């Protein structure tokens, strides 16, 4: 079998998505999940862009073993030096140099002619190659570049030492047939192309990023650049899970090709990226959307019960999709909970299990049926804030159509209780203001969303919010059958995150 190299750029192009900023700890957590998922290359950031990005790439290069760790650089020495220095702790590293080659970019952005661009690209690749054996070059906006110039620059950078040449559809403009033929043309017109791997990098402005990437594979590309959940600049990048599952599901078309991805980890990584970026996955999203494996119509349900393959082309467990069946209830004990968590692929210490069990029991008192999604939500809410500074003790709200909403709240910090009371524009606002009073931290809410985790009137509500305080921005979640409590928990989780940074 021939390997399709999965180059994951969730932490670089994905993080460029408006509003998706991740801190160093969060990036490291995602990099760990990508390692377990089995991606070949992690593009960990754009090290020259900020001190924070440099440090994040460095910490990933220091602790993630297995995948190649890559840093992005413009075709200038200081960028290449930063990419080199930050990826140095990793035994397997890559420097990714890019420079635009389309007429529009050369004329308006770079104000340089073709010969000058070619000279700068070659110089940059030669310089990078002296520092690192694994060099990728991207002619940015390749799909809108003049073909003859593109062939020439690809040949020159390969001669200069590039080991991978990436052909970006930077603005998501290409159509599948056209993009596939571009890859075939590069294979046929660049004399030294067999000395490098052809890579593709597609954006989703016309909703074609995955289709274009797959067409490129059919025409000879052997590396695909993609992101978890398809997050990225503007409409996003090609979605990793869709590409991987297309290759796996349509072996008749992608004959002799495979990726090294452990597909059973896909759903978990998708949840993690959604949780840390605050980007909710839409229910109808292919592979990882909440409805991706749900059959609503009677005819479909009947068909699936008779023979699964009538309406299902992928088994949910192949992507680690968490079922929606009723799994536990009020009378389920700690052992049953622990067994179910193991089945879902989680391992916890006794202390962590105690915490989850306490939340589980409290939930089971309010809600008859506990679904897998409910359990995962509790885990995400409870376990990741293992050593919180502030914990919720209790709160009372008074709200209605004829009263000013007020909240009285009590929080615990190092075994001491602190309380405050506040009014607000609504009950949630009153609670947040009361928490600000208790903690002495003034939080600025930048985003607030609420979702139902499972089905039914008693469904667990999950609040996802983005909070700015002490000059830091974090995303946090909180869950409860009571949406005010979910909001309070999310707000406290966010403040704890801020305290821990
Ligand atoms: O979209 C693009 O062209 C890029 C390059 C830096 C590869 O992200
Ligand atoms: Zn891009």
The reported pLDDT for the residue numbered 325 is 52
Q: How far, in Å, is the centroid of ligand 1 from the Cα of 193? A: 20
The reported pLDDT for the residue numbered 384 is 58
**Are 233 and 267 within 8 A, CB to CB?**
no
Q: How far, in Å, is the centroid of ligand 1 from the Cα of 140? A: 6
The label of the residue with tokens 């903690």 reads 439
**Which candidate, 48, 46, 58, places its Cα nearest to that of 21?**
46
Mutate to test the pocket of ligand 1, among 162, 167, 201, 230 (most ligand atoms within 8 A of CB): 201
Q: Which ligand lies nearest to the CA atom of residue 233 in the structure?
A: 2
DSSP string, 149-199: HHHHHHHHHHHHT-SEEEEEETTS---HHHHHHHHHHHHHH-TTGGGSEEE
Mutate to test the pocket of ligand 1, among 142, 171, 203 (most ligand atoms within 8 A of CB): 203
Strands (DSSP E) contained in 399-443 are 406-413, 416-423
Mutate to test the pocket of ligand 1, among 13, 95, 139 (most ligand atoms within 8 A of CB): 13
How many other β-carbons are positioned within 10 Å of the β-carbon of residue 442? 11
**Are 292 and 322 within 8 A, CB to CB?**
no
**Are 295 and 304 within 8 A, CB to CB?**
yes
CA-CA distance, 14 to 227, in Å (whole number)? Answer: 6
The reported pLDDT for the residue numbered 69 is 98
The reported pLDDT for the residue numbered 375 is 84
- What SS3 class is residue 467? strand
Q: Which residues line ligand 1 (CB under 6 A)?
A: 13, 98, 138, 140, 166, 168, 170, 201, 203
> Is residue 161 left, alpha or beta, with left meaning phi > 0 and alpha meaning psi from -120 to 50?
left
Query: Digits of tens for pLDDT over the chain (501 positions)?
Result: 999 999 999 999 999 888 787 889 999 999 999 999 999 999 999 999 999 999 999 999 999 999 999 999 999 999 999 999 999 999 999 999 999 999 999 999 999 999 999 999 999 999 999 999 999 999 999 999 999 999 999 999 999 999 999 999 999 999 999 999 999 999 999 999 999 999 999 999 999 999 999 999 999 999 999 999 999 999 999 999 999 999 999 999 999 999 999 999 999 999 999 988 888 899 899 999 988 988 778 788 788 888 889 999 999 999 998 665 556 778 888 888 888 887 776 778 888 888 888 888 888 888 777 877 788 878 877 765 557 899 999 999 999 999 999 999 999 999 999 999 999 999 999 999 999 999 999 999 988 989 887 767 777 888 989 899 998 888 888 888 899 999 999 999 999 988 877
Q: Which two tokens stand for residue 272?
A: 């993690």
Beta bridge mates, 69: 42, 93
Give the number of residues written for the chain: 501
The reported pLDDT for the residue numbered 329 is 79
**Are 267 and 322 within 8 A, CB to CB?**
yes
The reported pLDDT for the residue numbered 453 is 75
Q: Which ligand lies nearest to the CA atom of residue 140 in the structure?
A: 1
Q: Which two tokens stand for residue 281?
A: 């996955």
- What SS3 class is residue 219? coil
Cα separations (Å) of 23 from 57, 79, 269, 331, 497?
A: 11, 21, 17, 40, 10
The reported pLDDT for the residue numbered 323 is 60
Measured by CA distance, the residue closest to atom 1 of ligand 1 is 170
């Amino acid at each position: 079998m021939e390997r399709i190299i999965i180059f994951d750029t969730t932490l670089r192009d994905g993080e460029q998505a408006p509003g998706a900023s991740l801190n160093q700890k969060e990036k490291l957590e995602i990099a760990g999940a990508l390692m377990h998922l089995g991606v070949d290359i992690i593009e960990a950031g754009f090290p020259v862009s900020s001190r924070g990005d440099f440090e994040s790439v460095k910490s990933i290069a220091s602790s993630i073993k297995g995948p190649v760790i890559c840093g992005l650089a413009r075709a200038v020495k200081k960028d290449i030096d930063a990419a080199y220095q930050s990826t140095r702790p990793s035994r397997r590293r890559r420097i990714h140099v890019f420079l635009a080659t389309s007429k529009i970019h050369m004329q308006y952005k770079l104000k340089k002619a073709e010969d000058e661009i070619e000279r700068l690209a070659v110089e940059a690749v030669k310089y990078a190659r002296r520092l690192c054996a694994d060099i990728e070059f991207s002619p940015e906006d390749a799909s809108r570049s003049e073909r003859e110039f593109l062939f020439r620059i690809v040949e020159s950078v390969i001669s200069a030492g590039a080991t991978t040449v990436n052909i970006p559809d930077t603005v998501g403009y290409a159509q599948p047939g056209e993009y596939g033929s571009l890859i075939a043309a590069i294979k046929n017109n660049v004399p030294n192309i067999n000395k490098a791997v052809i890579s593709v990098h597609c954006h989703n402005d016309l909703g074609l990023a995955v289709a274009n990437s797959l067409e490129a594979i059919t025409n000879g590309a052997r590396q695909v650049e993609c992101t978890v959940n398809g997050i990225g600049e503007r409409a996003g990048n090609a979605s990793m899970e869709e590409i991987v599952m297309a290759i796996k599901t349509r072996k008749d078309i992608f004959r002799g090709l495979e990726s090294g991805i452990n597909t059973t980890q896909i759903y978990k990584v998708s949840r993690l990226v959604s949780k840390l970026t605050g980007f909710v996955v839409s229910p109808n999203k292919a592979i990882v959307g909440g409805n991706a494996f749900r059959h609503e119509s009677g005819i479909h349900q009947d068909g699936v019960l008779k023979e699964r393959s009538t309406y299902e082309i992928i088994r949910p467990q192949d992507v680690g999709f968490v079922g929606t069946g009723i799994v536990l209830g009020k009378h389920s004990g700690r052992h049953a909970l622990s067994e179910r968590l193991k089945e879902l692929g989680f391992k916890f210490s006794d202390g962590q299990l105690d915490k989850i069990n306490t939340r589980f029991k409290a939930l089971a008192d309010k809600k008859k049926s506990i679904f897998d999604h409910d359990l995962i939500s509790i885990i995400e809410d409870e376990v990741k804030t293992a050593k919180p500074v502030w914990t919720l003790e209790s709160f009372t709200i008074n709200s209605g159509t004829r009263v000013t909403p007020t909240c009285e709240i009590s929080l615990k910090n190092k075994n001491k209780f602190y309380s405050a009371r506040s009014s607000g524009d609504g009950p949630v606002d009153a609670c947040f203001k009361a928490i600000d009073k208790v903690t002495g931290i003034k939080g600025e809410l930048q985003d607030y969303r609420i979702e139902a985790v499972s089905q039914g009137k008693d469904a667990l509500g999950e609040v996802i919010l983005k909070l700015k305080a002490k000059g830091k921005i974090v995303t946090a979640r909180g869950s409860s059958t009571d949406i005010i409590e979910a909001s309070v928990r999310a707000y406290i989780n966010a403040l704890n995150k801020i305290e821990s940074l």
